[in-house]
Structure 1
Amino acid sequence: MDVVSDAISVMRLGHPLSRRVRTSGSWCARLEAYEGAGFHVVLKGGCWLLPDGGDPVALGVGDAVLLPHGAGHVIADSPLDAALARRTAVPFGHWREEPAPRTRPEPDGAELLCGKYWLDCSRIHPLMAELPEVVHLVNRVGAHPELRAAIDLLAGELDERRPGSSLALPNLLDLLLVYMIRSWMAETTGGVWPGALGDPVTATALRALHADPAAPWSNDRLAAEAGVSRPTLARRFTALVGRPPMSYLTWWRLILAATLLRDTPDTLATVAGRVGYGSPYALSHAFEREFGTTPGRYRAQAAERSEAATSGIGRGF
């Protein structure tokens, strides 16, 4: 696994949702804030995104917008005043999805591909935390070819449900999320994590830690893996990641332990072995220091959160 894949995997829960929506005339719909990430892709026409507390964003044909922190927002045919938008918008879940037109659509109509991911934000990776409230990926000739291909494939699957769609759709939605984050990393100029993953020494060290977090890593061994001296690794890694290599490894092992406690029935001893701890006691002590609760209580609480989120993730969509 690589850092981006891992950052998404430890947060992602359940299957994402998606809808293809066709509009005409004047329209305005609202999606309330939720624990997850959402996206809109404009397939035809144009529209406006009005995020809570943010400036309106004009979306043209082929534009994609990611809301990685589940910000509440209105999407409409025009840049309405925020207060007016809140009063006039219909809940997104009540928004009528118009059937595919038999004739040419109205000039002012729009066609959107909308999606929603359920994420566990209690253990957010700093890479994901760094993403802005709104990531606007403008459609430009030659830009983000993988993202464009994923959008085309996803739109095709939603147009006509074919054999295998139940497997293809969630995987295409996961792929779309990866490509949107990757596109943001390629375009941003001031991000911490794009810089860390763009630095050959730090990136090599991160890949090694993520590939085998249970290995008996030390600063000397990791420096040898990165092909630099120990002081050089410590200086570059700490400056770019924000914590020393072994501190990051400890944190990441505990994040993985929390994910295994949430997603598997594995015993604490098995979890400890999988994340590089020599005993359940050692893991339990470190886990309680990081999360403020025991592994057993965390597992029970995670099950309750998952059940609540599962029943609520589709609400309003």
Structure 2
Amino acid sequence: MDALAGLLDGPRAHGAFMIRACFDPPWAVRVQDEAPLTVMVMARGTACVTPDADGVPVRLGPGDLAIARGPDPYTCGDRPDTAPQALILPGGECRYPDGTSLNGSMDLGVRTWGDRPDAATVMLIGTYLMRGEISGRLLAALPPLLTLPAGVWACPLTPLLAEEIVRDEPGQEVVLDRLLDLLLISALRAWFSRPEAAAPAWYRALADPVVGRVLRLLQDDPAHPWTVAALAAKTGVSRAALARRFTGLVGEPPMSYLTGWRLALAADRLRDSDLTLDSIARQVGYGGAFALSTAFKRVYGVSPQEHRAGHGGGRP
């Protein structure tokens, strides 16, 4: 499996919240919707995004893209010091700062919201509403806020999204869901190729000739009854040397990594398929449903059935 493909094999928008936000300065919106991931593209004008995690504002210009990882709140505005005029809460609820509802009062047409349609600032925003739509492996690899300047990436999907987001056609939600998935994958692929991208340790370790081969063996065939001795034989090093080298680069021993990988795959398949728990267990390397359930609940805090019913609410 290609490592980046494995990491990005997760975005599955389903009825994502999509909107064209239009504002004239001064403006600011406080986002507290607890969504797992939001993609923002500047179609016109500039904006500042300030995550609560570090309080450092990031300026976006025309064509720039930002991805905010939830559930931590953040504020978007023309300036970092502009007081928020609206609060975005879970479930798409919108309120004034004093708590008064503003649902409907700023609607400007199909998926368009704000001051006026031809405002100085226009942002295209796509929000994944449920955690199960984004794999836990991907969320864990992302910072609270990442940005891509227009000068370092060019995505042909942006003008298409701008055109489609205001349409009211049959099946439009599905079209927008797929566009959002493709836009996110395109952006993350560009971001992971940049030196400042904080890729997970296992991703960086793929460059090591020994540990990289072990990681590929585990990722390609998680159902195999791997042991440290078998992996060491495959790579031509001793068990002790492999364990030391793998733990140093990845941050955990080989068998611990394999357990996490198997459970992550199980979590994704519970979310994406109707396969029985026993079938999933055998696909990812467990002897049966009971063994998988025990390990899954120990790591995720919920049973596989609860994870599936809650659309991926459990987290390792």
TM-score range, shorter chain: 0.7 to 0.9
Deviates more, 1:43-52 or 1:229-238: 229-238
Quick one: distance in 2 between partners of 1:173 and 1:204? 33
Correspondent of 1:131 among 142, 146, 171: 142
Q: How many residues align?
A: 290
* Partner-residue secondary structure (3-state), 2:29: strand
Give the aligned partner of residue 63 of structure 1: 64
Quick one: distance in 2 between partners of 1:158 and 1:122? 21
- Whether the 8 Å CA contact 1:11–1:124 is kept in 2: the answer is no
Deviates more, 1:72-81 or 1:33-42: 72-81
What is the TM-score when the length of structure 2 is the normalising length? Answer: 0.74
Correspondent of 2:131 among 88, 108, 119: 119
Spell out the pairing of 1:229-248 with structure 2 (5 A cutoff): 229-230=237-238, 233-248=242-257
- Whether 1:299 aligns to 2:305 is yes
The structure that is helix-richer by fraction is 1
- Whether the 8 Å CA contact 1:35–1:121 is kept in 2: the answer is no
Q: Percent identity?
A: 34
Quick one: distance in 2 between partners of 1:174 and 1:163? 19
Give the aligned partner of residue 23 of structure 1: 23
Give the aligned partner of residue 106 of structure 2: 96
Unaligned runs of 5+ in 1: 310-317
- Whether the 8 Å CA contact 2:42–2:64 is kept in 1: the answer is yes
- Whether 1:79 aligns to 2:80 is yes
- Whether the 8 Å CA contact 2:36–2:134 is kept in 1: the answer is no
Quick one: distance in 1 between partners of 2:313 and 2:199? 33
Quick one: distance in 1 between partners of 2:294 and 2:11? 23
Quick one: distance in 1 between partners of 2:210 and 2:66? 32
Aligned-pair distance for 1:38?
A: 0.8
Quick one: distance in 1 between partners of 2:179 and 2:140? 23
Correspondent of 1:181 among 182, 188, 202: 188
Unaligned runs of 5+ in 2: 95-102
The 1:212/1:97 distance shift into structure 2, 3 A limit, reads farther
- Whether 1:156 aligns to 2:172 is no
The 1:29/1:44 distance shift into structure 2, 3 A limit, reads same
Quick one: distance in 1 between partners of 2:39 and 2:247? 33
- Whether the 8 Å CA contact 1:22–1:112 is kept in 2: the answer is yes
Quick one: distance in 2 between partners of 1:15 and 1:199? 40
1:139-165 residue CA offsets vs partner (Å, 9 max, x unmatched): 21xx234xx223233223325466764
- Whether the 8 Å CA contact 1:24–1:110 is kept in 2: the answer is yes
